[in-house]
Amino acid sequence: MLSIDKYAYSNRILTWRPQIKGLIWLLGIILAFQPILWIKGVLIIVAVGHTLYAAHLSVHQYLKWFYAILPFILLSIIGIVFTMSANKQIIYYPIRLFGYYFGVSKTMLPVGLHLGVQVFAAVVCTYWFALTTPFQQIIITLKSCHLPNLMIEEIMLMYRFIFIFIEAFEQIYRAQKLRFGYKNFRLSLHSSAILAKMLFEQVMVNYEHMVHALDAKLYDGEFKV
Amino acid sequence: MPMIELKHLNFSYEKNKPILKDVSLNLGEPGEDVVGIIGPNGSGKSTLFLNLVGMLKPTSGKIVVDGQPLKYHKKALNQLRQKIGIVFQNSDQQIFYSIVKDDIAFALHNLGLPEDEIKNRVDRVLEELDIVSLKNKPIQYLSGGQKKRIAIAGILVLRSEWLLLDEPTAGLDPDGTKRMISLIKQLIGRGQKIIISSHDMDFMYEVCDHFYILRDGQIVKSGRKQDVFLDDQLLESSKLTQPWLVRLHDKLHLPLYNTAAELFADQHLAAEIANLKKDKE
């Protein structure tokens, strides 16, 4: 079973008003994007510390949450700091490639690192919000922001079905792994392709069943939120 | 008398591959509060249900509800589905909200009922199904049996005359099945008419009072307990088995009991068995 939002339902600040939590999150994001670096550092420490305390999380569990997003952050920073130029002077550790120099740009390195800290601070704030606010409260927050119903409806349905989707994914993946479907790279590629195909087929079948269920419940094109 | 009549109904998705063949049923006769449609996998039970609620349209034949032939425009279908509620087999496919009480209220919001009426009905149903404690729980942390109850609650709030249950015990543990039996008995007690499709023979034997046996899209037998379950050969050829209480009667010539409780409460039988044991010793 998934525990994505288990913490959100059993944390120390569960009873805080969701709007307040929303505001604190917004404040955090603003602090993350303001230009002074040391404020960002303080923000990260405070946010991480409070998340660990409020959600009863161990450091190890918390770090696991970064597995999914770390590749994205690293890739974007790498994309920013690495450069290619005819001028050797502007690059740290230049490597000659096709008549050009390739390496870490002297001007872009601080920009990239600054951006990294900024993103990290924003992510940490968002984790704080996600780990302390149950979904119901998030919906209340969105509603008090007067976001369009259609959008809230969409978010609500995505949240509901993401669990079903991930469960289906896990079941197929487990069954494949059990029969050595991921033994080597070639097999892994093949198995992932089948996995994607099966998920797609299941989505189509489930869609049909859901249309029937919606009909039975007299669905009229709108979900009340 | 509320009635659903099926007259020579045929249904197929593709030409020359009929799923339902010349099915004629009269549902809602007096004394038949819980009708069981029994058939093995792929015999057409679910397709029959989808036809009953107008989600599939018969290729030929007629469905008549309370004297009116089924019409397939939106308004008529809406009325039909307030009269006939259906709960499908897979609970996850019928629960759309993440919080229990929101999901149960869904159909009522679609009907446009006033808020306090909705609240009343939801609270009532939660009590009836003994799931008040789940009211504010997120769906994804519930067990299969609990989800099944939520799915049923979401239809029960409509207070439809008829309740169609498609394989209601599939995937339930013994306790879940026991609860399902007592729920169905409780619903009949307050006048609910129920149609159940299943191949869980012992369960069907215990809860239904009229049966139709469906084989390859055809009704091969119908009647009450003693009519349909004694023909072991027919059941066998329909890929079904006798319920264990019927087997005791058929093979060991014990009386035909309606429920296990009836069997174990039979003092006379208990005395005879005690005698047999004594003789042996």
What's residue B162's pLDDT?
95
Q: Which two tokens stand for residue B136?
A: 């504010």
The tens digit of pLDDT for each residue in B203-241 reads 999 999 999 999 999 999 999 988 899 989 999 999 999
Contact B106 A220 (CB under 8 A): no
Torsion of CA B180, B183, B189, B190, to 10 degrees: -130
Residue B235 lies in a domain: no
Residue B10 lies in a domain: yes
Q: Which amino acid is at A27?
A: L
Are both B162 and B263 inside the same structural domain?
no
Are both A100 and A152 inside the same structural domain?
no
Contact A224 B111 (CB under 8 A): no
What's residue A84's pLDDT?
84
What's residue A2's pLDDT?
55
Q: CB-based burial of residue A118 (10 Å sphere; 0-12 exposed, 13-18 middle, 19+ buried)?
A: middle
Contact B93 A209 (CB under 8 A): yes
The whole-angstrom separation of Cα A64 and Cα A127 is: 12
* Chain A CB contacts of B107 below 8 Å: 216-218
Are both A88 and A125 inside the same structural domain?
yes
Q: Are B1 and B30 in contact (CB under 8 A)?
A: yes
Chain B contact for A5 (CB, 8 A cutoff): yes
Residue B54 lies in a domain: yes
Of residues A91 and B120, the one with the higher pLDDT is B120
Percent of chain B residues past pLDDT 90, beyond the cut: 77
- Mean pLDDT in residue range B84-101: 91
Are both A132 and A37 inside the same structural domain?
yes
Are both B161 and B253 inside the same structural domain?
no
Are both B259 and B143 inside the same structural domain?
no
Are both A51 and A155 inside the same structural domain?
no
Are both B25 and B83 inside the same structural domain?
yes
Q: Which of residues 160-199 of A touch B (CB under 8 A)?
A: 160, 163-164
Are both B40 and B69 inside the same structural domain?
yes
Whether residue B149 has pLDDT greater than 50: yes
Residue A183 lies in a domain: yes
Domain of A166, in residue numbers: 147-216
- φ/ψ of residue B56, rounded to 5: -120, 150
Residue A68 lies in a domain: yes
Are both B280 and B164 inside the same structural domain?
no
Can you count the helices (H) and strands (E) in chain A?
9, 3
Give the end of a domain, one of A81, A113, A140. Answer: A140
Chain B: closest CA distance from residue A169 (Å): 15
Instruction: Specify the number of domains making up chain A.
Output: 2
Contact A215 B154 (CB under 8 A): no
Residue A151 lies in a domain: yes
Chain B: closest CA distance from residue A196 (Å): 20
Percent of chain A residues past pLDDT 90, beyond the cut: 42
The whole-angstrom separation of Cα B189 and Cα A193 is: 53
Are both A94 and A27 inside the same structural domain?
yes
Residue B236 lies in a domain: no
Domain of B85, in residue numbers: 4-228
Are both A11 and A120 inside the same structural domain?
yes
Nearest CA among B44, B116, B94 for reference residue A161:
B94
Q: Look up the CATH number of the domain holding residue B207.
A: 3.40.50.300
What's residue A46's pLDDT?
94
What's residue A1's pLDDT?
42
Are both A34 and A86 inside the same structural domain?
yes
Are both B126 and B83 inside the same structural domain?
yes
Residue B77 lies in a domain: yes
Distances in Å between the alpha carbon of A122 and those of A70, A126, B184? 13, 6, 53
Choose among B53, B110, B136: nearest Cβ to A219: B110
Instruction: Specify the number of domains making up chain B.
Output: 2
Residue B221 lies in a domain: yes
The tens digit of pLDDT for each residue in B38-58 reads 999 999 999 999 999 999 999
- Mean pLDDT in residue range A12-22: 88
Residue B233 lies in a domain: no
